[in-house]
Structure 1
Amino acid sequence: MTMPAATRSFLRPLALALAALGACAAGATPYSIDPSGTIVTDQATALQWARCTFGQAWDGSGCTGKTAAPNWYNALQAAQTANAAHYLGYSDWRLPNVSEMESLMEMDSANPNIDLTAFPGTEGALYWTSTTDEYSFSFAWYASFHDGHVLRTDKTGLGYVRLVRGGQPMAAFDALAAPGPGPGPVRPAAPTAVPALGYAGWLLLSALVAGGGALRRRLLRPDPRTCRARSR
């Protein structure tokens, strides 16, 4: 018998949460870095991330060079440009959706809210996601690594880009996500959108995204310091 989609959506977060706790019990680190030092794999989500912000390059000890800060449309184009150039040896990079980007946030760190060992040189600023706000197609969701918030802004604004590949889409972890086409000259292959629930509904859901993010992050990837404490 086929499992209903709603059941799969409910069970998947639970399964990954248990896997993350198991990884903690086994003493696993939250990230692994490939031999070239350029790609970071999140052990909880199986997503592979470009270690450096787009525009920078890994020089063996850190991310160097000038970071690019395009608008949302050009951020999507950056992924296509990277794929055409076989960026870091792959041609299936994309702009992450809001849940994927939020999963990188470390609330125990501050400005930037991220593991700087895994992602050195990260800007404490806005990073674009592919998620369009369905209430206003001219807005998209972003993650701020300055203060750990996930909010929306006009697509003509400027933000940084971190590309992702592989893994499984994390729409199941984002109660606001739903597949749908995005407007603009460049459309992501599988964007997500926020349902149109009216301004008051958006305010409430926005608060839930920002406030509930810490819980999702704890479930998806245990704090490495907690893992170390348990191993003592």
Structure 2
Amino acid sequence: MNAVAAKVHSQSIVQRFIDNGDGTITDTTTGLMWSQATLNKRGISHAKAEKLCAELDLAGHKDWRLPTADELFALADRSRHSPAIDIEAFPDTRSDWYWTSTPSAWASSCAWLVDFDYGYASHNRRDYDAFVRAVRAAPAGQ
């Protein structure tokens, strides 16, 4: 179990997700702020996903980015299925693949994705079409 997943597991009793009422969700376990909505209606390439996050202006913040594989995988709830995520916090999540910023170690043409149908991670070519959820570090009190 990686450090992010272990921290999430150890604090499962505390209310984990806070709806900020502005299209964002704060994860009290990791301190990250997430776009509540999936940012694209149809799958897009990895390059377009990175650009979409970098250009995002949401809730007065412009420092959005594509999450790492560990960050996004920590949202996956393997006790749920189709979608494998807390749907109260992230109601429009598709039971499909979402891009991460983590490149594959064995091929620069590939990057990691998280599947929210069953809650697992894998890699694929960067020209594959997948969905996007943006993340940013949320300083204390934000």
Query: Is TM > 0.5 for Structure 1 vs Structure 2?
Result: yes
Distance 1:142 1:133 in 2: 10
Aligned position for 2:51 = 77
Long gaps (5+) in structure 2? none
Match of 1:151 among 112, 122, 135: 122
Superposed counterparts of 1:102-181, under 5 Å: 102-167=73-138
Q: Which aligned segments of 4 or more residues in structure 1 are displaced greater than 2 angstroms?
A: 19-24
Aligned position for 2:58 = 87
Aligned length: 137
C-alpha displacement of 1:149: 1.5
Report the secondary structure of 2:77's partner residue: coil
CA RMSD of aligned residues (A): 2.2
CA contact (8 A) 1:95 1:164 kept: yes
TM, length-normalised to structure 2 = 0.87
| Structure exhibiting the larger radius of gyration computed from Cα positions | 1
Structure with a larger share of its residues in strand = 2
Long gaps (5+) in structure 1? 1-12, 56-66, 169-232
- With over 3 angstroms needed to count, the CA separation of the structure-2 counterparts of 1:151 and 1:22, relative to structure 1, is closer
C-alpha displacement of 1:92: 0.3
Task: Determine what percentage of the aligned residue pairs are the same residue.
Answer: 26
CA contact (8 A) 2:26 2:138 kept: no
Report the secondary structure of 1:123's partner residue: coil
Report the secondary structure of 1:89's partner residue: coil
TM, length-normalised to structure 1 = 0.55
C-alpha displacement of 1:51: 0.3
CA contact (8 A) 1:54 1:68 kept: no
Higher relative contact order (CA 8 A, sep 6+): 2
Match of 1:34 among 8, 17, 20: 20
